[in-house]
Structure 1
Amino acid sequence: MPAWINESLSNTQGYPGTVMAWRIASALLLGAATAGVYRWARRGQGAQATFLTTLVLLSVTIAMATQVIGDSVARAFSLVGALSVARFRTVVKDTQDTAFVILAVVVGMAAGANNAMVAIVGLGVVGLAAPLLWPPRRDPSLGGAEVEMKVRLAAAQDVRATAEQILATFAVRSTLLAIETARQGASIDLTYRVRLRPDVPPVQAAAELSRIAGVEGVEMRRADRTSD
């Protein structure tokens, strides 16, 4: 094997690849434990699956960054600057995307710092973990999915009890999240987190609620959260 490849696969700390692999793998396990503690602390409120995944992936990525930095103060400041530019100049729509932005930065720093082994081992761990942690794709119909539902009621009519009775017929469970007024107090918006039954299309649920006298509107949006 050429000398330049051997030099790139070596690391400045002098640790064997097995030690780095164990450190990064232990970060994966501890990150999963952190996500578990967070989910337990949020029991009854729901925890975003994407945020749980981000906690795990960030643990692995930071472990990689620590291996890259070592005892170098210059590398530490370089990492801070690179992460600041990457994070605040890159528009992300998902918390998981943030983890991969940081991962890309650390991998680039590892290669630039002649610590390619850190990048290889870290990418291997992330590559194995990410598909297992990534939330499954929901069917576009939202059947059986957890959704946030906003029901607008006429303030002059007491129809909340009736609406919640209908809601119970097509939902596995529902939790009231918020109550707010609208149209200068003429209407009341009730926001629920609802787990729809698999056999109930969201269109049917919205139609059933809309038939109730006093219900002015129904809005649903996906709420990709893990169940408690």
Structure 2
Amino acid sequence: MLDMGDWLKATFPQVQDQTIAVDTLLQRLLAALVLGALVAIVYRFTERTRSAGTSSFIATLILLTVLLAMVAQVIGNSAALAFSLVGILSIVRFRTIVEDTRDTAFVIFAVVEGMAAGVGNLAVAVAGLFVVSLATVTLRALHFYAETPLVEWTLQLRVGTAVQDAAPWENLFAKSCASASLVGTATARQGAALDLTYKLKLNAEVTPMQFLNALNRLEGIQNLELKRT
């Protein structure tokens, strides 16, 4: 009669054969963590503009590198485990839309770095990190990346008829917007207020919330509404 240890060895012979030392495993995972952080730094340093999802994507790159290093340890030399993993992952439906194809390249970058660290091939990981980073920085310096088009917004501004000077918000437009133009005016509250409609494009570093907060601090403005066109 087999005891539990013999049963485990008989049931999972490949796993037993591929077991690596704990210190080696930790070294590979820590190497993957460092490599993932470096990939994220390169991404952050070479990106054009910082959007709301940038921080989340950077964290994803780091985690993805470590996870792929773990996957490499699980698969080892087993083709059966590799096909099983593909089958398991095919069940997951990924709904995240990558807006920039450059982001897709960095996802692949993180995957390859994680796999290289996971199998202990640090020479490939370090060499690949250096070459891809150099290529990315060079392309950035040569302006190969197309600039992200600015979003157009419609601003509806209500002010009292006593306000005769539009300079306060127009000065703010000059600081915060790449372009701004008045496209419509109307009276409100039986002639006691004016509704002004502007078409504008915020500068890349200005968020809609920052822009609205700055407008709210101006005197004479009664109501604000900002809509994406």
Q: TM-score, normalised by structure 2?
A: 0.46
Under a length normalisation based on structure 1, what TM-score does the superposition of the two structures give? 0.46
- Choose 1 or 2 for highest CA Rg: 2
Larger relative contact order (CA 8 Å, sep ≥ 6): 1
